[in-house]
Structure 1
Amino acid sequence: MKVLIQDFLLMLQFFTRLPINLNLTCEKENFKRGTMFFPLIGLTTGFIQWITYFLAIKVLPDSTTALFVLLIGILVTGALHIDGLGDVFDGFFAFKGKDKIIEIMKDSRIGTYSCIAIIMDLAFRYNSYINLINKEFSLGIIAAPVVARTIFVLLFYMGKQAKKVGTGNLFIGNVSKKELVVSCLLGAVITGLLLGLTKALVITAAAVIATLLFNKYCEGKIGGLTGDTLGANNEFVEVITLILAYSIKL
């Protein structure tokens, strides 16, 4: 049990900016076991955003509350996945071949496509938060990161490594059926409790389809997945979940 708790904390250290100042073991096996807790990483992020909404909406207008929810999400994650989204758009729209695409994705500078992608991502999120607040489907704020982090594990399981060396390789191809099943069951339970079974099933199906298509697209462009493409998929799935959470009437 102690090892599992440490692996969960390791994932929190890795994927959030929460102040967990512990010296934890960082072997490949720790990252493998840690993937089982990805839905809980999403739950932690989403819950912090939801608490922000719950407190802010009492004294602030909907639009300002939505901005704070958006900002808190960025601060908690350190914009890790948004950065990946921007890098992917810069690289994939370069039309230069696999090696050049990966080189562009590694560049710390951002280009036009990256700027557009990030702006649109934030705009969709902001609009979705306002709609969730107005329609009183606020638990979608929590559900979005839960679904996205659960889908991460599916990508780890079925994806191929596009690079020989990279942060994403700590996870890509480093997941067995055990971790996949545990994370999916955990994610399904949490999402079902938040959104209701029917809506959760529809959203999960949409997220899986989008992820399968994106994975296939990545294989065609660069031969597999990198940390940046993982981050981009996270943003796609979160936005899809947010939109469907308020637009589906069940």
Structure 2
Amino acid sequence: MVDWLRACLAAFQFLTRLPIPVQIDYTERVFQRSSIYYPLVGFVIGLLLMLAGAELSYVLPTMPAAVLLLTIWVILTGGLHLDGLMDTADGILSHRPREQMLEIMKDSRVGAMGVIVCVLHLLLKFSLLYTLLDASQAEGQGSLLVLLAIVPIWSRWFMVAAIRMWPYARPNSGLGSLFRGVNSTHVTVSLIVALLTTTLCICTTNPTSLPSWSIVLSFMTITRLVGGGIAAYISSKLGGLTGDTYGALNELLESVLLLAVIVIIGL
């Protein structure tokens, strides 16, 4: 039990900047076990974003509220996944041979393509948050923000699935190599956590005219199909995935799922 609690705390320490005043020895075993808690971490991040969005939209106009909400989102994760997105963009969009792509991704300096992709990505995320907050204010339904809380759950679940489903591109180096022991059991348990937390969100307050089960199924299906397509493309370029690409997958899926939320509230 203590080992699993340590793994849970490790997941929060690794994926967020929430204050966890516990010293943890990050062994390969701890990293592997921590993966099952990734959707739970996403759930907590989502709840914090939902509460922040409700408060900000209450006291501020929609545009500054959306900017500040996006800022909070980045602060909560310390920009960890954005860094992975930029490194991945620099590597993949260099159109170099595989080995050179991997070397570019290891470089601590950010290139032009990384900056361009990051800016475009944040602009898209801002526009989607703006649309969601605007709809929430216009309809007087703060409960619409429940859908925002679900987004980080599934983007982080897919990170676990990707670790298991695609080979690691740097077998003997990189932080991602610590996750090599993640197996089908970890993925299945993390999926159960994702389903339970999503069900808790949507069954507590369903702000749409759609049945709760269809919303849960929509998030799961979109995550699997879109995430699978992106991961397969990246893997075809790099011969596998890396720690940076796990972060990139998380960021890209968050935007895709936010876009899905905008579609859902329009139904």
Contact 1:52/1:68, CA 8 A, preserved across alignment? no
Shift of 1:46: 1.5
Corresponding residue number in structure 2 for 1:94: 94
Q: CA offsets per residue over residues 155-196 of structure 1, 9 Å max, x none? A: 11112110120111122x321222111110110222234343
* Equivalent position amino acid for 2:231 in 1: N
Alignment partner for residue 170 of structure 1, among 175, 178, 190?
A: 178
Alignment partner for residue 153 of structure 1, among 155, 160, 164?
A: 160
Contact 1:199/1:245, CA 8 A, preserved across alignment? no
* Equivalent position amino acid for 1:158 in 2: M
Number of matched pairs? 249
**TM-score for both structures, normalised by structure 1:** 0.94
Secondary structure, aligned partner of 2:131: helix
Corresponding residue number in structure 2 for 1:141: 148
Corresponding residue number in structure 2 for 1:80: 80
Alignment partner of 1:182 is 2:189: yes
Contact 1:8/1:34, CA 8 A, preserved across alignment? yes
**TM-score for both structures, normalised by structure 2:** 0.89
Give the distance between the partners of 1:203 and 1:14, measured in 2 at CA. Answer: 24
Segments of structure 2 that go 5 or more residues without pairing to the other structure are 137-143, 203-211
Shift of 1:200: 2.4
Shift of 1:90: 0.9
Alignment partner of 1:229 is 2:236: no
Corresponding residue number in structure 2 for 1:240: 256
Corresponding residue number in structure 1 for 2:7: 7
Give the distance between the partners of 1:149 and 1:219, measured in 2 at CA. Answer: 18
Contact 1:7/1:31, CA 8 A, preserved across alignment? yes
Alignment partner for residue 204 of structure 1, among 220, 233, 236?
A: 220
Give the distance between the partners of 1:160 and 1:139, measured in 2 at CA. Answer: 34
**RMSD, aligned α-carbons:** 1.4
Give the distance between the partners of 2:258 and 2:115, measured in 1 at CA. Answer: 21
Shift of 1:25: 2.9
Contact 1:50/1:69, CA 8 A, preserved across alignment? no
Give the distance between the partners of 1:143 and 1:43, measured in 2 at CA. Answer: 7
Give the distance between the partners of 1:21 and 1:192, measured in 2 at CA. Answer: 30
Shift of 1:237: 0.8
Query: How high is the sequence identity, in percent, across the aligned residues?
Result: 30
Shift of 1:73: 0.8
Give the distance between the partners of 1:99 and 1:138, measured in 2 at CA. Answer: 43
Shift of 1:135: 2.4
Shift of 1:239: 0.5
Moved more, 240-249 or 230-239: 240-249
Contact 1:218/1:225, CA 8 A, preserved across alignment? yes
Segments of structure 1 that go 5 or more residues without pairing to the other structure are none
Corresponding residue number in structure 1 for 2:141: none
